[in-house]
Amino acid sequence: MRLIMLGAPGAGKGTQAQILAEYLKVPHISTGDLLRVEIQNSTPVGLQAMEYIRAGELVPDSIMIQVLEERLRDPDCSEGFILDGFPRTLSQARYLGTTLRRMKREIDSVVNIDVDQQLILGRLAIRQRTDDDPKTVKHRLDVYHRETAPLIDFYLREGLLRHIDGDAPEDDVTARILRSLD
């Protein structure tokens, strides 16, 4: 199972990706988590990414592609994966398509978790990440609408998109996603 999770920051895609990964027995690949590890280890990628993350900006595609490519080469990805936070731009989506085709693999489904913007702001207000202060949150939402939301149409046209109403308790959202994958 090769799955992409889409959704605005705070829509719950990370939580759902983690639950689904356990259930489907495939790795959960969060590019945000991968970057945070790079930052913790003060690697060249981490040092480059840090300023973008702090400002609520997207890390440049060239860096992201490098980070993802390395992770996809790990043997645990051979049976599938759940991508959380990648792709975030159309060019990342095209890159992913090309890379998977080259590996004779393909995306099975793209799950878009839909949550009302006011609810998202409330959820983000109680998280404790350094990029969750109100000004940065607002900026991340703007970036999401400008750069990432167009992916919904992109995957709709590829016939892969599943729309999930994410305004429900965690377990219900998981059940909805699993039903949509049947």
Site mask, ligand AMP, residues 44-63, x = CB under 6 A? --------xx--xxxx----
d(CA 29, CA 16): 12
Out of 2, 28, 71, 88, point to the residue binding ligand AMP (CB under 6 A): 88
Contact between 64 and ligand AMP (CB under 6 A)?
yes
> Exposed, middle or buried: residue 44 (CB in 10 Å: 0-12, 13-18, 19+)?
exposed
Contact between 154 and ligand AMP (CB under 6 A)? no
User: Is residue 86 close enough to count as binding ligand AMP by CB under 6 A?
Assistant: yes
Ranges within 66-85 binding ligand AMP (CB under 6 A)? 85
Instruction: At 14, list the tokens.
Output: 């990370």
Which ranges of the chain does DSSP label H, i.e. alpha helix? 13-24, 31-40, 44-55, 61-72, 90-102, 117-125, 134-143, 150-157, 170-181
**Smallest distance, Å, CB 17 to ligand AMP?**
10
Residue 32 is a binding residue for ligand AMP (CB under 6 A): yes
Interface residue with ligand AMP, options 124, 140, 155, 177 (CB under 6 A) = 140
The answer to the question of residue 155 lying near ligand AMP (CB under 6 A) is: no
Is 28 a binder of ligand AMP (CB under 6 A)?
A: no
What is the rounded radius of gyration, in angstroms, for the C-alpha atoms of the chain? 16
Q: Write out the two tokens for 50.
A: 């840090």
Q: Considering CB under 6 A, how many residues would be counted as binding ligand AMP?
A: 18
Determine which residue in the list 21, 35, 93, 173 makes contact with ligand AMP, applying CB under 6 A: 35
Tokens of 1: 């199972």
User: Do residues 115 and 7 make contact, with C-beta atoms less than 8 angstroms apart?
Assistant: yes
Residue number with CB closer to ligand AMP (1 or 55) = 55
Is residue 35 within 8 Å of residue 49, measured between CB atoms?
yes
Distance of alpha carbon 70 from alpha carbon 168, whole angstroms: 35
Shortest Cβ 179–ligand AMP spacing (Å):
25
Residues binding ligand AMP (CB under 6 A): 9, 30-32, 35, 52-53, 56-59, 64, 85-86, 88, 92, 131, 140
